[in-house]
């Protein structure tokens, strides 16, 4: 009976992990890719203490601007949600779909040896705030 309860708990943990991964994939069409330079309206825009692009989530907190490989991003942190820890976003345009995002739960396990430059920089910024 006790083994059955442990199996159920393991399955429940796996389902939570799967849900986190699915949310990450559903909200981020570019976890391991960087948009082409031609699709980036703000490429080369000056750094600013304010966002360069429009972002309509009232829960997100603007953290900073970031330039990676000549592309300017607005970095946001969306606070902890019911399904996990915070989510980090890098917006590269005004369109609703023009962003990279990843939950902290997933991001902190990324191998920087296989990640894109944007992912590595976002991980560096997130670690400063999540662990600080």
Residue 47's nearest CA partner among 8, 74, 26 is: 74
Residue 99 pLDDT = 95
Distances (CA, A) of 84 to 12, 36, 44, 58, 66: 14, 31, 34, 18, 25
The domains of the chain are located at 2-130
Residue 46 pLDDT = 46
Low-confidence residues of the chain: pLDDT under 50:
15-46
Residue 100's nearest CA partner among 127, 128, 72 is: 72
Summarised one tens digit per residue, pLDDT across range 34-54 is: 444 333 444 444 456 789 999
Q: Report DSSP letters for 26-85, one per residue.
A: HH-TTTT----GGG-TTTTPPP-SS-SS----SS-EEEEEEEETTEEEEEEEEPPBTTBS
Residue 66 pLDDT = 93
Distances (CA, A) of 22 to 27, 36, 62: 8, 25, 25
**Residue 21 CB neighbours (<10 A):** 13
Residue 12 pLDDT = 56
């Amino acid at each position: 009976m006790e083994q059955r309860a442990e199996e159920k708990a393991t399955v429940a943990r796996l389902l939570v992990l799967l849900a986190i991964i699915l949310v990450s994939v559903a909200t981020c069409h570019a976890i391991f890719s960087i948009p082409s330079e031609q699709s980036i309206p703000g490429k080369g825009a000056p750094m600013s203490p304010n966002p360069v692009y429009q972002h309509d989530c009232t829960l997100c907190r603007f953290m900073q601007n970031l330039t990676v490989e000549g592309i300017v991003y607005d970095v946001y942190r969306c606070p902890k949600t019911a399904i996990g820890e915070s989510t980090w976003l890098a917006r590269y345009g005004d369109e609703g779909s023009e962003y990279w995002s990843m939950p902290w739960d997933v991001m902190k396990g990324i191998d920087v040896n296989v990640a894109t430059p944007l992912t590595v920089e976002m991980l560096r910024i997130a670690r400063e705030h999540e662990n600080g």
